[in-house]
A = this chain, B = another copy of it.
Amino acid sequence: MRVKSFKKKSRSDWLNLFEIAYEDKAGGDRSWQLASRRQTPRCISGDFDIPDAVVIVPYHFSSGKLVLIKEYRVPLADYQYGFPAGLIDPGETIESAVERELREETGLTLERVKRIGPPIYSSPGMSDESICMVYVECDGTPSNEANEGTEDISVIMVSKTEAAALLNVKDVKFDAKAWLTLSAYVQSGSF
């Protein structure tokens, strides 16, 4: 298979729809639709090194709990449980983005970055969006005073038992990465 060219099918600031012309394994001409935060999608630019966003898994040192956020998400018209996360600003390092997003979304202080994962893809069938998981230790008192104007976020800290209870509440909407991480935490005690 081989990607040949692209057409931009929308004119938006943050996210656009693209149609990619590609050759299938039998040599036939096909097209694929994808959403990208880039002006030129990654499959054309070849730029796969820097992820779009960080997803932070924060262990709160003094309470011994994992930090989640409950955040209003327009695409879900509802609150969603997930980890603190955000787009990496141009020129910003992963560590700086983590420190900034953790402070803005939770009011907590980054103490130590334990592990930075590689760029991984949120939904590679429909988008080139990539994120990296960043496992950190943090401390301080949760606060939403640094939320931006469009953010509506509550901080929720969970022990293993509280995580298990939260996973069992009906009709709670979870981000996939948070659901998988919490499920592993509940099952094995590690994350």
A residues with a Cβ closer than 8 A to B are: 1, 3, 9-17, 19-20, 22, 24-26, 28, 30, 32-37, 41-44, 46, 48, 53, 72-78, 80, 82, 85, 117-129, 131, 133, 149-150, 152, 173-177, 179-181, 183-184, 187-191
Instruction: Please state if B184 and A188 are interface contacts (CB–CB under 8 Å).
Output: yes
Task: Name the distance in Å between A32's Cβ and chain B's nearest Cβ.
Answer: 4
Interface of A is mostly: mixed
CA distance A174 to B120 in the complex (A): 5
Instruction: Please state if B75 and A41 are interface contacts (CB–CB under 8 Å).
Output: yes
CA distance A28 to B150 in the complex (A): 9
Instruction: Please state if B124 and A127 are interface contacts (CB–CB under 8 Å).
Output: no
* Given A20-B75, A126-B15, A184-B184, A118 and B33 contact (CB-CB distance below 8 Å): no
- Chain B: which residue is nearest A25 at the CB level? B152
Select A37's contact among B36, B76, B126, beta carbons within 8 Å.
B126
Task: Name the distance in Å between A163's Cβ and chain B's nearest Cβ.
Answer: 14
Task: Name the distance in Å between A49's Cβ and chain B's nearest Cβ.
Answer: 10
Task: Name the distance in Å between A160's Cβ and chain B's nearest Cβ.
Answer: 13
Instruction: Please state if B120 and A35 are interface contacts (CB–CB under 8 Å).
Output: no
Interface centre among A9, A72, A124 (most CB of B within 10 A): A124
Interface centre among A72, A122, A149, A175 (most CB of B within 10 A): A122
Instruction: Please state if B181 and A128 are interface contacts (CB–CB under 8 Å).
Output: no
Instruction: Please state if B72 and A1 are interface contacts (CB–CB under 8 Å).
Output: yes
